[in-house]
Structure 1
Amino acid sequence: MSSESKRNGKGFLSGTLIGALGGLIGLGGAEFRLPVLMGSFKMPTLEAVIFNKAMSLTVVAVALIFRTKSIAVDQLFAHLDIVINLLAGSLIGAWWAAGRAIKMSRIWLDRTILLLLVILSFVMLSEAWMPLHDSSAGLFQPGIATIIAGVIAGFFIGNVAALLGVAGGELLIPTIVILFGADIKLAGSLSLMISLPTMIVGFSRYTNADAFQILRKEKKLFVWMVIGSVIGAAIGGLMLGMFPVRVLMTLLGAVLLISAIKTFKHTRQR
């Protein structure tokens, strides 16, 4: 077997495993994929972010199509105001952060990504032990305060999505539930509606970077990882309910924290 075939097989396997984990907890798994791309596949930081962003776009688009079977389209459009509110901030945040990432030195980009991955791991751990419940009311009374809070939250989420190449569901879902009082299952689908255009904006910004050539260079790896991710997400969805969500979230939060630190050490040595 050639080294390229082994690399593609490794991509399929890692995509499947990460997709299955994401399917089990209702996330895309991009936060786990980034350390793998930088550590196992030795991709430079910015190239790994762009590769991860392209994969996240594909996986989220597929996930949104499948979720329309459980959450009706008319139900999603009934809450379009939430989507527009958060998008008003996330689109600006994604555009701004992607522009900064292109110009940022690799050392500072590594440090920024490490910090964001650590924050996400703690978010995951906190959600494991302080799970969100359906809420009949948002944080504020409907009005200007909610709109302003939504734009600000969206801006920061757009930053994270652009810098890590993730969909941002682990931040969007709790924001939608807490800020707008939406049902948590509905929040999962609404988060995908926000993630897709947010990632497209960040992705289009990255097309100006030389590192964008990674998608042409690693085209076969990309295809095999996407196939693995879709299959893994389907497997994870079928296994939903077999494992306690709290245990899974705790385990994955710890794994993300350890992998983030290891990735940072790897980039420093490199």
Structure 2
Amino acid sequence: MTPESPGPRAGAFAFSRLRAPAAFACGAVIGTLGGLIGLGGAEFRLPLLIGAFRLKALDAVILNKAMSLVVVAAALPLRAGTVPLGLVAANGGVVATLLAGSLPGAWIGAGWAMRMDAARLQRVMAALLALIAAVLLFGHGLTGGAGPLLEGPALTVAGTVAGFAIGVVASLLGVAGGELLIPTLVLLFGVDVKLAGSLSLAISLPTMIVGFSRYARDRSLALLVRQRGFVLLMAAGSLAGAFIGGLLLGVVPDRLLLPVLAAILLLSAVRMWRH
């Protein structure tokens, strides 16, 4: 089998050629990109898994979700110095409202992904990457703290519906969903943006676990066992990169950084759509 004809074992072929430093370096670059805007970078990792490593769409989603799970699990306690966990717990009602939608959304989204043929799944992922690029470009830089947009049952219903949509997107792309959760928390619930970052992690972690457990009923565990070295190295690189990106946060002006990152996502979306 040649590199030009991926076939059913394209992912295994690509990984057999991948050296450990390259996996770590790729993860570090992706983590740095995400860290520059306060995210984990999974939205940048997915096109790389499909384009550079030539994974099948569903395999890429599963591995991306596994790496995202590692990054998010490590990021929440690391943010405790900036946003105390007690403050996160004090906003448990907001977390519960979004989880009421995101948990079933993650389960259903994973089921849809496993039932789609590869071409359709890639086009769905391409469309969602374009959506995230738009959110990144127009929804970043919000400050929040102005109070919730709605009140009472209307806020609960809106939050649950938004959580469901975010859970579906997170499962279909294998991402944590912070790029959608943070604007939702800021705009809908009026949460301060720093607190929104920690709340999004508290929501993402159980949401990803539910989505991952749905994939585990199919073939994700076997895939992870085969590619555990690659997953751990790339996740470690992503963590290191996220730390570096966090240190560089604010060095590059948002008015320059965000259009470039949005353009990268749009270009990746176009290539995935045409792949």
Smaller-chain TM-score bracket: over 0.9
Kindly indicate whether the alpha-carbon contact (under 8 Å) linking 2:126 and 2:268 is maintained by their aligned counterparts in 1: no
Q: Distance in 2 between matches of 1:108 and 1:73?
A: 41
Report how far residue 194 of structure 1 moved.
0.2
CA distance in 1, matches of 2:259, 2:44: 14
Q: Which residue of 2 aligns with 1:133?
A: 143
Contact 1:20 1:236 in 2 (8 A): yes
Distance 1:230 1:123 in 2: 23
Shift of 1:213: 2.5
**Aligned ranges 1:1-270 → 2 under 5 Å:** 4=16, 6-128=18-140, 131-140=141-150, 142-266=151-275
Q: 1:137 to 1:211 in 2, by over 3 A?
A: closer
Counterpart secondary structure, 2:132: helix
For residues 139-184 of structure 1, what are the alpha-carbon distances to aligned partners after superposition, in whole Å with 9 as ceiling and x for unaligned? 11x2000000000000000000000000001110010111111101
TM-score normalized by the length of structure 1: 0.93
8 Å Cα contact 1:215-1:222 kept in structure 2: yes
Flag the 1:263–1:9 CA change in 2: closer, same or farther, 3 A. farther
Which amino acid is 1:153 matched to?
A
CA distance in 2, matches of 1:229, 1:5: 20
**Distance of aligned partners of 1:211 and 1:201 in 2 relative to their CA distance in 1, 3 Å threshold:** closer
Q: Which runs of 5+ in 1 are unaligned?
A: none
1:5 CA drift (Å):
6.9
Distance, in Å, in 1 between the alignment partners of 2:71 and 2:268 is: 22
User: Are residues 74 and 211 of structure 1, via their aligned partners in 2, closer, same or farther at CA, if it must alter by over 3 Å?
Assistant: closer
Query: Do 1:50 and 1:212's aligned partners in 2 also have CA atoms closer than 8 Å?
Result: no
Q: TM-score under structure 2 normalisation?
A: 0.91
C-alpha displacement of 1:211: 5.0
Would you say how many aligned residue pairs link Structure 1 and Structure 2? 261
Distance in 1 separating the partners of 2:241 and 2:96: 31
The question of whether the paired residues in 2 share the 8 Å contact of 1:47 and 1:212 is answered with: no
Unaligned segments of structure 2, at least 5 residues: 1-14
